[in-house]
Amino acid sequence: MTGLARGIAVKATPARGILRWGRRWPVLFRFSTLSIAAVAVLFPFLWIFLSSLKPPVELSRPSLFGFEPTGVNWSEVWLNSPFARYFLNSVIVGGLTVIVSLIVGAPAAYAFSRFGIGGTGLRFLILAAQMMPPALFIIPFFLMAYYVGLLDTVWAVAVAHLTFIAPLVTWFLIGFFEDVPRDLEEQAMVDGCTRWQAFVRVVLPAARPGLAAAGLFAFIMSWNEMFYALMLAGGHSKTLPVAIAGYWTFRGVDMGKMSVAITSAVIPVMIASFFVQRYLVRGLGGGALKG
């Protein structure tokens, strides 16, 4: 389009000219508002990271920069305390919970999306199940874990996390299976697969991104959970959130080490979150919301 033609077009539809002008100031406005929000989000992370590098004296003063950075907090936490073990505990709890949830949840979600099994009632129960308050389960779980002798083990925490992770994963996957075209499995069945084989060999691979996103999100939820972990495990079996809270002791808060623990717990989750973000909406809506 030549400049002349563009000029004519603008003249022909004046509304569009206003719109174009009107669009220009919001860009600056939008950019600056978003920048402020981004700073508000990033600032606490920056502060906690800087705190992890501060010597004890500086932690009593409200300064941000202007200190001699030291790695002593990091080496104390990672090399001279069982922090690596708590990290591993969190991985075990999250991994175990997610694997069981995927194995149990994927077929169920498929059945919901394809056969409408159990109707809306069952779907509702799945949603309700992930929303139930932990206060309802913690007392029975505590007593059961105690009767069974699993108190203060990662297994007790993993089982408790299944209460909300398993329905969450199932709920998430419904939407992703609905996105898998039905032709795929029908073609497979024409080729001689049974329905189950079609599910395992065709549908599951096709829904792989969804499965990964659901698993990763569920893992993050388990990783971050503190209530069950504090009540059911606390010693050798403590998970990261409990370990973080543990730096707040009877003899004072070890701010430097706590900052290391927080930073260490947050970084992997941050990285994982970038992969999860774009699948989250579809998942949270149980297929009802567009991602």
Partner 1 sequence: MGHRDRRLGRRMVLPLILLLLAVQGYPMAFAVYISAHDYRLTALSEIRWVGLEQYRGLLGNSSYWTAMKNTLVFVFGAVGLELLLGFLLAYLLWRPVPAQNLFRAILLTPMFVTPIAVGLMFRFLLNNQLGIIPVWLRSLGLEIDWFGPDLALFSLILIDVWQWTPLMVLLLLAGLEALPVEPFEAARVDGASELQIIRHLTIPLIRPVMLAAILIRMLDAFRVFEYVYAITRGGPGERTETILFHIYRVGFLYFRLGEAAAMAITLALVIFVLVVLLFRILRRQEALT
Partner 2 sequence: MFRRVTGFVIVLGMLASWLFGCRPAAPSPVTLTIIMEQVPDTDVIRKLLPDFEKENPGIKVVIDAMPYDAMRDKILASFMAPKATYDVIIVDNPWMDEFVAGNFLEPLDDRIRGVPDYDFEDFVKPVRDIGVVGSKIYGIPFYNYAVGLIVRQDLFDDPAYRDAYQKKYGKPLAPPTTLEDYVRIAQFFKEQSGGKIYGAAMQPQRGYKVFEEWKNWLYAAGGNLLDDQGKVILDRPEAVRALELYIEMYKTAAPPNSLNWGFDEALRSMAAGEAATMMSYNWMLPTLNNPQGPAGNLAGKFALYEVPGGKAVLGAWHWAIPRNAPNKDASWRFISWVTSKRIEKQRVILGGAPVRVSAMKDPEVWQKGFGQSYYETVLKILEDAEPLARGPKAEEIIQVVGTELNAAVAGEKTAEQALRDAAAQVRRILGQ
265 binds partner 2 per the rule CB under 8 A: no
* Cα–Cα nearest to 234, from 143, 139, 157: 157
Task: Report the sign of the C-alpha dihedral through residues 253, 255, 260, 261, in that order.
Answer: positive
Residue 244: which H helix or E strand, with range? helix 240-246
* By CB under 8 A, residue 290 contacts partner 2: no
- Rounded to a whole number of angstroms, the minimum distance from the CB of residue 77 to partner 1 is 14
Kindly tell me which residue out of 21, 25, 115, 147 binds partner 2, with binding defined by CB under 8 A.
147
CB 212 to partner 1: min, Å: 16
In this complex, which beta carbon is closest to partner 1, that of residue 10 or of residue 103? 103
Cβ proximity to partner 1, 2 vs 237, nearer residue: 237
In the complex, least distance from residue 154 CB atom to partner 1, rounded to whole angstroms? 16
Q: Rounded to the nearest whole angstrom, what is the least distance from the CB of residue 88 to partner 1 in the complex? A: 17
Quick one: tokens of 156? 């007790």
CB of 130 to partner 2, least distance (A): 23
Taking residue 74's Cβ as centre, other Cβ atoms within 10 Å add up to 17
Q: In whole angstroms, what is the distance from residue 70 CA to residue 48 CA?
A: 14
Count of C-beta atoms within a 10 Å radius of residue 281: 12
What CA–CA distance (Å, rounded) separates 28 from 25?
6
Strands (DSSP E) found in the chain: 248-249, 252-253
Q: Which does 235 bind (CB under 5 to 8 A by kind): partner 1, partner 2, none?
A: partner 2
**CB contact at 8 A, 48 and 262:** yes
Give residues 153-172 in contact with partner 2 (rule: CB under 8 A). Answer: 153, 155
Q: Does 245 bind partner 2 (CB under 8 A)?
A: yes
Residue 105 contacts which entry, partner 1, partner 2, none (Cβ below 5-8 A, type-dependent): partner 1
Identify the three-state secondary structure at position 234: coil
Contacts to partner 2 by CB under 8 A: 56-57, 59-61, 142, 144-153, 155, 230-231, 233-236, 238, 242, 245-253
